[in-house]
Structure 1
Amino acid sequence: MHHFLAEVLDDLDHEELTLLLNWLAIHTLRVTRPNIRTWRKTYLQKERNNG
């Protein structure tokens, strides 16, 4: 899978790569940012309870 992705990315020109990265950033951060915040809160709470 990684090899396939590397080949696809190698075939993109600068503009296409920029568009792809922007699209990924918009669509992945929208999903993960709240999850990261929740995870961090949970993690810090566990650290406080154990420490």
Structure 2
Amino acid sequence: MRFVTLGLTAALLTLAACGNTVTERAATGGIGGAAVAGPVGAVVGGTAGAVSTMN
């Protein structure tokens, strides 16, 4: 279970803010989360991607 948590965290940090628009960031976060933790990861990754901001 610890590896899933670490993998999900890594995926969120690397993919959550990948994209120019909120939709693109949510999509890439969702894909990264789904690859690591399935449906729950997709929801968490999509949410993290949608709320992240580009500076």
TM-score range, shorter chain: 0.3 to 0.5
Find the structure with the greater CA-based Rg: 1
TM (norm. structure 1) is 0.36
Greater share of helix residues, 1 or 2? 1
The structure showing larger relative contact order (alpha-carbon pairs under 8 Å, at least 6 residues apart) is 2
TM (norm. structure 2) is 0.34
